[in-house]
Amino acid sequence: MGWDFSTEPEFQVKLDWVEKFCREEVEPLDLVFPYAVRSKDPKIKALVKGLQDQVKAQGLWALFLDEELGGPGLGQLKLGLINEILGRYGSAPQIFGSAAPDTGNMEMLAAYGTEEQKQRWLVPMLNQEMWSAYSMTEPQGGSDPNLFKTHAVRDGDEWIINGEKWFTSAGRVADILFVMCTNGMFVVPRNTPGVEIMPEPRSHNHIIYRDVRVPADHLLGPEDGAKVLAQRRLGGGRIHHAMRTIAQCKLAFDMMCERALSRESHGKIIAEHQMVQEKIADSYASIQMLRLFVLETAWKIDNSSTQETRTDIAAVKYTMAKVLREVSFNALHILGSLGTTNLTPIQAMYSAAPTMGIADGVDEVHKATVARNVLKSYRPHEGYWPTEYIPAKRAAAREKFEPMFVADPDLRTIADGYAKYIAART
């Protein structure tokens, strides 16, 4: 009977190390040197490297990559448990070499790159000597890839790319851009002539690709394979993301509970007011449900495949967004005026929560996928009534008893009595 929710003691030791390391080393770095990981200052770089070396010594660097792709091959469940810690600390994913969008791009390179492409891009990305961005969404529509127009045309030993992309996160500071074209996924160095980055938005960039020429070997994977590669970069990533979201929910929950015990109003501490208790109880249950759902989905991926688990991966995606919205709202509300300031993490968490329902695909699209997939295992009922229509089921059940009624007429009389009683109640 394999139904066990515990963590192996040896792995718990690793988790304890990650938790202590993040609390004692990563958080102080974040507070004093925000965005240190991207700094070009040699002194800051040395600080970051010192921490990253400790992560590497623990064998926890680039932990999202499977063993055959050059990572520790922890599997999604263990990865999920680690991400549940990392998600609480801003730069922890980078300190562990596991930050989006590089993770997904590295997964595509590891899975589809030639040996030469891996040496040229994957190795420096793994060492954080090179940063990347992912250019998929277009201004005319993000949710429907069939609306994308960016296209590459072969010209001798080169491809010429023309198109326009919207919301390429960190595109401005990336060394290379993974550009999804209608006929393939291309790697484009950012400084290639024709790559024009618009002034707005600042962080998620609007980029025009105007007659951008790249060598033929900058096509990643097969020609026309962009959609398959795009799926590859999202599957497992959503689970890591979900566990980091749980970390955020727990942070909000911890703040809510601590505050509820620390403030007084109308003669009692606010934790004793029932409407505050309701928020705490609802938040607790939502986090627990989400956590179990995410971990079970991770377990299913480990025991089958990303493809076979796609319905649950999609369901996790919009559920985590919903729980973050709820829990961060509850926490902000219980913190009162302080919650509305930027003096605690809660205001930023709450204001960022709606983006979770948009980034990586809007809720509606994932919900439609889930509903479509789930409905595949159902059939319409015949005739007017649903399968659970009680009079029909009761009549069928009586048929089952008919041989017993024939053998024992008293039993039929008793059954008739029940039938009369039921008819009188309806």
Ligand X SMILES: Cc1cc2nc3c(=O)[nH]c(=O)nc-3n(C[C@H](O)[C@H](O)[C@H](O)COP(=O)(O)OP(=O)(O)OC[C@H]3O[C@@H](n4cnc5c(N)ncnc54)[C@H](O)[C@@H]3O)c2cc1C
Binding positions for ligand X, rule: CB under 6 A: 101, 134-137, 141-143, 167-169, 204, 355, 358-359, 361-362, 364-365, 368
Identify which of residues 52 and 311 has a Cβ nearer to ligand X in the complex: 311
Identify which of residues 114 and 355 has a Cβ nearer to ligand X in the complex: 355
**Alpha-helix runs per DSSP H in 179-273:** 226-262
The CB-of-228 to ligand X minimum distance in angstroms stands at 16
Identify which of residues 72 and 361 has a Cβ nearer to ligand X in the complex: 361
Identify which of residues 341 and 355 has a Cβ nearer to ligand X in the complex: 355
The CB-of-226 to ligand X minimum distance in angstroms stands at 12
The sign of the torsion formed by the CA atoms of 410, 414, 420, 422 equals negative
The CB-of-179 to ligand X minimum distance in angstroms stands at 9
Identify which of residues 79 and 180 has a Cβ nearer to ligand X in the complex: 180
CB 340 within 8 A of CB 347: yes
In the complex, which residue's CB is closest to ligand X? 142
Identify which of residues 100 and 239 has a Cβ nearer to ligand X in the complex: 100
H/E stretch holding 363 reads helix 363-375
Identify which of residues 143 and 265 has a Cβ nearer to ligand X in the complex: 143
DSSP state of 237: H
The CB-of-365 to ligand X minimum distance in angstroms stands at 5
CA 332/CA 347 separation, integer angstroms:
7
CA 298/CA 295 separation, integer angstroms:
5
The CB-of-180 to ligand X minimum distance in angstroms stands at 7
The CB-of-292 to ligand X minimum distance in angstroms stands at 26
Identify which of residues 283 and 328 has a Cβ nearer to ligand X in the complex: 328
The CB-of-314 to ligand X minimum distance in angstroms stands at 13
What is residue 353's three-state secondary structure? helix
CB 244 within 8 A of CB 87: yes
Q: What is the 3-state secondary structure (H, E, C) of the chain?
A: CCCCCCCCHHHHHHHHHHHHHHHHHHHHHHHHCCCHHHCCCHHHHHHHHHHHHHHHHCCCCCCCCCHHHCCCCCCHHHHHHHHHHHCCCCCHHHHCCCCCCHHHHHHHHHHHCCHHHHHHHHHHHHCCCCCEEEECCECCECCCHHHCCCEEEEECCEEEEEEEEEEEECHHHCCEEEEEECCEEEEEECCCCCEEECCCCCCEEEEEEEEEEEEHHHEECCCCCHHHHHHHHHHHHHHHHHHHHHHHHHHHHHHHHHHHHHCEECCEEHHHCHHHHHHHHHHHHHHHHHHHHHHHHHHHHHHCCCCCCHHHHHHHHHHHHHHHHHHHHHHHHHHHHHHCCCCCCHHHHHHHHHHHHCCCCCHHHHHHHHHHHHHCCCCCCCCCCCCCCHHHHHHHHHHHHHHHHHHCHHHHHHHHHHHHHHHHHC
The CB-of-399 to ligand X minimum distance in angstroms stands at 45
Identify which of residues 81 and 234 has a Cβ nearer to ligand X in the complex: 234
The CB-of-245 to ligand X minimum distance in angstroms stands at 13
Identify which of residues 88 and 317 has a Cβ nearer to ligand X in the complex: 317
Q: At what angle do helices 310-339 and 363-375 cross, to 10 degrees?
A: 140
The CB-of-140 to ligand X minimum distance in angstroms stands at 8
The CB-of-368 to ligand X minimum distance in angstroms stands at 6
Identify which of residues 263 and 322 has a Cβ nearer to ligand X in the complex: 322
